[in-house]
Amino acid sequence: MARLPAAPPSVGGPRREAWAWAWASVDDLLAAEEMDVVHICTPNATHADLAGRSLAAGKHVVCEKPLTTTVAESRRLRDLVGASGLIGTVPFVYRFHPMARELRARLAGARIHVVTGAYLQDWLPRPDDTDWRVESALGGPSRAFGDIGSHLADLVEFVTGDRITWLHALTSTVYDGRGGRPVDTEDLVVVLFRLQRGALGTPTVSQVAPGRKNALTVEIAATDESLRFEQEAPEQLWIGRRHGSELLLRDPGQISPEAARLSAAPAGHPLGFLDAFAGFVGDTYTAIAGQAPDGLPTFTDGLRSAVVVDAVLQSARSGAPVDLEPLPDSAPPSSIGAGYGKE
Ligand SMILES: NC(=O)c1ccc[n+]([C@@H]2O[C@H](COP(=O)([O-])OP(=O)(O)OC[C@H]3O[C@@H](n4cnc5c(N)ncnc54)[C@H](O)[C@@H]3O)[C@@H](O)[C@H]2O)c1
C-alpha cells in the first residue's frame, strides 16, 4: 500500500489526511476501514465493476453518471444497493441549482404543454479533438446523449415530476475518426418525446456547437407561464407571461423553501456549478446519516437514465420511435425522497 504525505496545508481542515491517501490497488482501497464512502470518477465503462465491488465491501457509493453503460448493469447495481442498506447516489448535479429547484416548485400541479431544451458544448468540433468518451469501449455506446443528454433528460423528468414514455431520436456522428482512431459514438442528438401526462418535448444535444461551453437550458410552457432555466445563468429564472414577463432573481424573499435551502450563499453572492455539487455532496451525507433529503438522485435514477439513453440509441439505430415504460419499481422524481435508501 502506498500512502502519500499529508495534503498541503492549504487543503486544510481536520480531514486533510484523508485527502492525501492513495492505495496501490482498488482492493487495498476498499479494505481501508477508515473510509466510509467511495466516489467513482473513472471512465464510464469501469463504473459497474467499481461500484459493485465498493458495495460488496460495505462502502456507500457516489457513482458518477452514467451509472453504468448498460441497462442490465444499472439494474444490478440498483438491486445491490437496495439489498445492502447502503446509500448509492449519482451526481445529476444540475438538480442542485437553487433556481432549478425553483422551476420544479413552480411547476408543481401545472398543466405542462411543451418542453424545449438543449445541452450544447464545444469541446469536440474539430477532427483532432478527442477523449476517452469518443470510444464506446470506455465511454459506452452513447456519447453525447449518455454524457450530457442524460443530465438534460434527468432534469426534465425531475422538474416536471413526469416521465418520458415515448421518444423518437436522430443522431449524427460528424467524423468517422478522431486522433487516428475510429469513432463509434454520436456527436449530436435531436429527440422528440412525449411525457406520460401528455406534454411534448424537443431537446437537442451537441458536443460540436462552437461557442457553447456548457449550455444546458430547459424551457417549459404551462398554461399561464413559461419558465426557463439556463445553467450558465443559474441565479435567475425567466418567467414568460402573455402580459408581464419577468426575470426572477434568487432572492430569499421570493423563492421556495427548497430553493432557499440549497442557496449556499445569500442573494448577491452568485452561485455556480461547484455550489450545486457541494449541495449534492451535502445531501448525500445527510442520507448517509439516515435522513431523506428531497431530490437526491439515487441508483434508481441512474437506472432510469440508462433506460432513457438506451431508448435514444434504439430509436436512432432502428429509425423508429420507442415506447418507454416508467420503471414499475421507482417513485416519480417529484417524490424521490420518500422511501430513500429502501430502493
Ligand atoms: N456529474 C457531472 O456533472 C460530471 C462532470 C464531469 C464528469 N463526470 C463523470 O465523471 C467520470 C470521469 O470523467 P472525467 O472527465 O473526470 O474523466 P478524466 O479522464 O478527467 O478522469 C478519469 C480518471 O480516472 C482514472 N482512471 C482511468 N481508468 C481507471 C481505472 N480503471 N481505475 C481507476 N482509475 C482510472 C484516470 O487516471 C483519471 O484520473 C465520467 O464518468 C464522467 O461522466 C460527471
pLDDT in tens, the chain (343 residues): 334 444 444 444 444 445 557 788 999 999 999 899 999 999 999 999 999 999 999 999 999 999 999 999 999 999 999 999 999 999 999 999 999 999 999 999 999 999 999 999 999 999 999 999 999 999 999 999 999 999 999 999 999 999 999 999 999 999 999 988 899 999 999 999 999 999 999 999 999 999 999 999 999 999 999 999 999 999 999 999 999 999 999 999 999 999 999 999 999 999 999 999 999 999 999 999 999 999 999 999 999 999 999 999 999 999 999 999 876 555 555 433 333 222 2
Pairing of strands 181-182, 177-178: antiparallel
Nearest-atom number in ligand 1 for the CA of 92 is: 1
Task: Please tell me the distance between residue 239's alpha carbon and the centre of ligand 1 in angstroms.
Answer: 36
CA 97, 187, 48, 343 torsion-angle sign: positive
Alpha carbons 156 and 117: distance in angstroms, whole number: 9
What is the tens place of the pLDDT at every residue in 42-52?
999 999 999 99
> pLDDT above 70 covers what percent of the chain?
89
Alpha carbons 43 and 290: distance in angstroms, whole number: 30
Nearest-atom number in ligand 1 for the CA of 47 is: 41
pLDDT of the residue at 325: 82
Nearest-atom number in ligand 1 for the CA of 46 is: 31
Alpha carbons 336 and 297: distance in angstroms, whole number: 8
Question: Considering the entire predicted model, what is its pTM?
Answer: 0.92
Pick among 1.10.150.120, 3.30.360.10, 3.60.15.10, 3.40.605.10: CATH of 95-268: 3.30.360.10
Task: Please tell me the distance between residue 84's alpha carbon and the centre of ligand 1 in angstroms.
Answer: 25
Question: Pocket around ligand 1: residues whose beta carbon is below 6 Å from it?
Answer: 41-44, 46, 64-65, 91, 93, 132, 147
Q: Which residues contact 53 (CB under 8 A, 6 or more apart)?
A: 26, 27, 30
Cβ–Cβ under 8 Å, residues 177 and 132: no
- Which of 30, 44, 64, 92 gets mutated to test ligand 1 (max ligand atoms within 8 A of its CB)? 64
Count of alpha carbons within 13 Å of 211, Cβ hemisphere only?
0
- Which of 39, 41, 93 gets mutated to test ligand 1 (max ligand atoms within 8 A of its CB)? 41
Task: Please tell me the distance between residue 106's alpha carbon and the centre of ligand 1 in angstroms.
Answer: 35
Task: Please tell me the distance between residue 315's alpha carbon and the centre of ligand 1 in angstroms.
Answer: 28
Task: Please tell me the distance between residue 43's alpha carbon and the centre of ligand 1 in angstroms.
Answer: 5
Alpha carbons 74 and 299: distance in angstroms, whole number: 8
CA 2, 5, 6, 8 torsion-angle sign: negative
Task: Please tell me the distance between residue 149's alpha carbon and the centre of ligand 1 in angstroms.
Answer: 17
DSSP 62-128: EEPSSS-SSHHHHHHHHHHHHHHT--EE---GGGGSHHHHHHHHHHTT--EEEEEEEEE--SS-STT
Nearest-atom number in ligand 1 for the CA of 65 is: 43
Across the strands, what pairs with 141?
none
Alpha carbons 145 and 204: distance in angstroms, whole number: 9
Identity of the residue numbered 271 = L
pLDDT of the residue at 20: 56
Query: Which residue, by CA, sits nearest to atom 9 of ligand 1?
Result: 64
pLDDT of the residue at 227: 98
pLDDT of the residue at 330: 58
